[in-house]
Amino acid sequence: MDKKIIRNDRVGEKYYCINHPSGLTVLVWEMDNYSTTHALFGTKYGSINTKFKTDEDADYVSVPEGIAHYLEHKLFENEDCDVFSLYAKTGASANAYTSFDKTCYLFSCTDNYEESLRILLDFVQKPYFTKETVEKEQGIIGQEIRMYEDDPNWRVFFNMLMGVYHNHPVRIDIAGTVESIAKIDADLLYRCYNTFYNLNNMFLSIAGNVDVDKVIEICDEMLKPCKNHNLETVFEEEPETVFERETVQNLEVATPLFNIGFKAKSENGRAGLKADIETNIVLALLADDSSPLYKKMFDKGLINSNFGTEVFSGDGFFCSIFGGESRNPNEVLSEIIAEIERVKVEGFDEERFEIIKKSYYGSQIRGFNNVESVATLMINSYMSDVIPFDTIEIVAEITLEDIHKRLFSQFNTENYTISVINPIK
């Protein structure tokens, strides 16, 4: 068994990375004097992974959208009982989530993490699907999909993604569509489970009041070794341009909602993390609540305090988003484009850059004092082929010149989509 200690002198922290004989990567961060424990058991399998192959497949296999999310729902049921009732006996709080590129099962507790960890490792490795239970779940997930179809905040975001992306499956709702989930059966669920829930494609991350040797002992007891089938996932070729410049929908809202997405090329690994961090700093310089642009738009009544920005990125996608409420979303768009073009000529203010950089660095340091943040950081990092300390190292080294280069590479003012949700008249 390969057990490494990963240290960082800059912050004086360390964690353990264990390549377990089963194929699982185990990450343990012992946090002395903390009373809580947070654990995540996750697979690199999200809603976008609908086309894949392994050593056993002659060619790529395509499956309906929404299977990753469907699987997450079904794994909480086993032949004997509901998993939540098992956690109730240990006093742990449990949950799960499916995103575009990962599925994670998690628990938090203050006592008895060993038994909760056994429950987590046990049920995720024990799928139980029947024709009857799968059909029952179709109705439940179908209701969930229809509910989100009427949610203005959900629709403004996904309408934007459908405007930005021609082919990438990120444009499809994580839960799929009513039509796509109708094609899901027990055989398909087992096929996707056996492909993506292979321990060589999975990670266990646990932080807090834990002992690394005890965690390894439980892993030795609970994990079933898996053969590595060399899983590959692919996407349809995606043009660099946006699919559609504007999307508009009418729903029950008092004030129009908008999302403006600037499409850019995605990168992987440390280069992708650097792009994320630098673009976040660019967005803060352009439009946080201390920026000239924010003040100008706020004073003109174009935006309110709901205005914000985010970087949306992952495997094969990268988008910088401005969103909020406005009675004139297209004027907001014009102001944002004008500010981007102005800064490309005049540059950012160096003093503001230093303030924002220090604030970003400080927020990362604070995260090391939170058990849930640490466990989540570890699993997210390893799923992205980086390590948890890469973020603070990148932030520490960023220069204003890096930020100006990123502005030019990520913000093409000809390559955007604006999504608007207008009130029903």
pLDDT of residue 395: 97
Asked if pLDDT for residue 44 goes beyond 80, the answer is yes
Active site residues: 72
φ, ψ dihedrals at 287, nearest 5°: -145, 15
237, 167 contact by CB (below 8 A): yes
- Tens digits of residue pLDDT in 147-158: 888 899 999 999
Q: Which CATH number fits domain 246-423: 3.65.10.10, 1.10.150.20, 3.30.830.10, 3.40.630.40?
A: 3.30.830.10
142 pLDDT band, cuts 50/70/90, is confident
| Residues 121, 117: Cα–Cα separation, whole Å | 6
| Residues 119, 78: Cα–Cα separation, whole Å | 12
Query: CA of 397: how far to CAs of 38, 41, 272, 354, 385, in Å?
Result: 31, 32, 16, 12, 20
186, 130 contact by CB (below 8 A): yes
143 pLDDT band, cuts 50/70/90, is confident
Candidates 232, 73, 56, 54; CA nearest to 140 is 73
| Residues 116, 88: Cα–Cα separation, whole Å | 10
Phi-psi region of 343 (alpha: psi -120 to 50; beta: other; left: phi over 0): alpha
Q: Which two tokens stand for residue 148?
A: 């989100």
Q: What residues contact residue 414 under an 8 Å CB cut-off, 6+ apart?
A: none
Candidates 270, 279, 300; CA nearest to 389 is 270
294 three-state secondary structure = helix
pLDDT of residue 150: 87
The length of the chain is 425
Q: What residues contact residue 33 under an 8 Å CB cut-off, 6+ apart?
A: none
- Tens digits of residue pLDDT in 33-42: 999 999 999 9
CA quadruple 74, 171, 407, 153: dihedral sign: negative
- Tens digits of residue pLDDT in 365-400: 999 999 999 999 999 999 999 999 999 999 999 999
Q: What is the CATH superfamily name and number for domain 2-233?
A: Metalloenzyme, LuxS/M16 peptidase-like (3.30.830.10)
- Give me the torsion for CA of 51, 202, 275, 298, rounded to 10°: 90
pLDDT of residue 71: 93
Query: CA of 215: how far to CAs of 94, 242, 263, 336, 338, in Å?
Result: 18, 47, 42, 50, 54
Asked if pLDDT for residue 364 goes beyond 70, the answer is yes
268 pLDDT band, cuts 50/70/90, is very high
pLDDT of residue 304: 95
Residues of the chain with CATH 3.30.830.10: 2-233, 246-423
Candidates 219, 234, 273, 262; CA nearest to 390 is 273
| Residues 160, 156: Cα–Cα separation, whole Å | 6
DSSP state string for 310-339:
EEEEETTEEEEEEEEE-S-HHHHHHHHHHH
- Say which DSSP state 82 is in: B
Share of the chain above pLDDT 70, in %: 99
- 78-87, 125-134, 332-341 — which is least confidently predicted? 78-87
CB atoms within 10 A of CB 21: 13
- Say which DSSP state 111 is in: S
pLDDT of residue 79: 67
Asked if pLDDT for residue 258 goes beyond 90, the answer is yes
DSSP state string for 76-106:
TB-SSSBHHHHHHHHT-EEEEEE-SS-EEEE
CB atoms within 10 A of CB 124: 24
Rounded to two decimals, the pTM is 0.94
Mean pLDDT taken over the chain: 94
CA atoms within 13 A on the CB side of 397: 8
Asked if pLDDT for residue 314 goes beyond 70, the answer is yes
Name the residue type at position 191.
R
- Tens digits of residue pLDDT in 211-221: 999 999 999 99
